[in-house]
Amino acid sequence: MAFSSFHPPQRTLMGPGPSDVNPRILEAMSRPTIGHLDPVFVGMMDETKVMLQKAFMTKNELTMPVSAPGSAGMETCFVNMVEPGDTVIVCSNGVFGGRMKENVTRCGATAIMVEDDWGKPVDPQKLEDALKTNPNASTVAFVHAETSTGAVSDAKTLVEIAHKYDCLTIVDAVTSLAGSPLKVDEWNIDAIYSGTQKCLSCTPGISPVSFSKAATTRIQNRKTPVQSWFMDLNLVMAYWGAGTQRAYHHTAPINSLYAFHESLVVLHEEGLENSWARHAKNHDGLKAGFEAMGLGFFVDEASRLPQLNAVNIPEGVDEAALRSTLLNSYNLEIGAGLGPMAGKIWRIGLMGHASSETNVLFCLGAMDAVLSDMGAKIDSGKAVSAAMKVFA
């Protein structure tokens, strides 16, 4: 049996992530590996931390990349912040709120669910009601930007309410970081995790996290050990903490961290607010195109993320066939709906490097062509020019 090197096709990645990776970041990833305790590497870690603080808009000392994908970043927040017997209010309006619940119960804690419809933002009133009836709650967890629907919630208000009831907060910012406003210090978020493969347009596999002083104090004063050795921040801090003496914890994913560093350099060069503005503008172009085609958005405009667009599937269209054609004929990946949204929406990402006018125009043109060929009832031939008017 012969095995040979794998050469992937060149796709355009406009699903819910991974998004297109900037070639600069791919190149950075292939630089020579050095040791994880090499002083030169440690210097790079320090710079990474500073750039990540800026991306999160925080001065939090405990700000670093977890050496595993976003799901592990989520778990890092929960296993460190939550102890057995705790009560955690989990606001759920999509897949990732449900996953938070899983994390809470696996920590031996009780999850009180605050449910909102998929596609709607978390309702602050419902959170406050839950806090009133659960005075023993210690933590509130919610998703800032739901990757399963593209709905954004009002993180600032939710954190304010949580703090009013003496709860610390855990916030999922996997899809929001670098793509739309996220202000960790201004909003007083306590624990936050994100991913690299969304609006940072880095390769997947790393999860940036940040913890406020209050969160750090809670972690340092736990009554029980963190159930995960790999994710125990009391141990990880010794490697990522300040000072020249770095204690060995685990072997860092060196080359993935080169890529992560480069993605932050790219972000810093563009400027965080310019990145938000670019994401917003490209969303406007995409929206104009889909509206010209006669397709609607699943999420109300007020709570719609520019970087993740849930588009309603027109009646009678074989949505999987459309995605297959886009992938096989156009090398274009868009996302399906997850769970109850399967067959109802497509998820079209405009994240990071993939958030470009070129991609908007290419995607609109391709979808218009394929939908027309499939006999879908759309207003064909107008989408691309409608988008161009936004960009002009």
Query: Please, which of residues 196-255 interact with a copy of itself by CB under 8 A?
Result: 197, 203-205, 225-230, 248-255
Q: Which residues 24-63 are close enough to bind a copy of itself by CB under 8 A?
A: 24, 26-36, 38-41, 44, 47, 50-51
Q: Is 20 in the site for a copy of itself (CB under 8 A)?
A: yes
Q: Which residue among 111, 199, 237, 259 contacts a copy of itself (CB under 8 A)?
A: 259
Residue closer to a copy of itself (CB basis): 300 or 342:
342
Q: What are the tokens at 126?
A: 């419902």
Q: What are the tokens at 153?
A: 């919630």
Q: Which residues pair with 170 in a beta bridge?
A: 141, 191
Instruction: Name the helix (H) or strand (E) containing 89.
Output: strand 87-92
At a CB cut-off of 8 Å and minimum separation 6, what does 254 contact?
33, 34, 35, 36, 41
Q: Which residues 262-321 are close enough to bind a copy of itself by CB under 8 A?
A: 262, 264-265, 268
Exposure of 233 by Cβ count < 10 A (0-12 exposed, 13-18 middle, 19+ buried)? buried
Residue closer to a copy of itself (CB basis): 68 or 360:
68
Q: Which residue among 83, 116, 172, 333 contacts a copy of itself (CB under 8 A)?
A: 333
CA angle 74-79-82, nearest 5°? 110
Exposure of 186 by Cβ count < 10 A (0-12 exposed, 13-18 middle, 19+ buried)? exposed
Q: Which residue among 57, 214, 280, 338 contacts a copy of itself (CB under 8 A)?
A: 338
Residue closer to a copy of itself (CB basis): 228 or 385:
228
The backbone torsions φ and ψ at residue 303, rounded to the nearest 5 degrees and listed phi first, read -120, 30
What binding mask, one character per residue, do residues 136-175 give for a copy of itself by CB under 8 A, x or -? ----------------------------------------
Torsion sign over Cα 43, 49, 51, 52: positive
Report DSSP state, residue 304: B
Q: Which residues 343-382 are close enough to bind a copy of itself by CB under 8 A?
A: none
Residue closer to a copy of itself (CB basis): 119 or 349:
349
Residue closer to a copy of itself (CB basis): 248 or 391:
248
Smallest distance from a copy of itself to CB 151, Å? 19
CA dist 357 and 389 (Å) reads 11
Q: Which residues 60-89 are close enough to bind a copy of itself by CB under 8 A?
A: 67-72, 74-75, 79
CA dist 300 and 293 (Å) reads 18
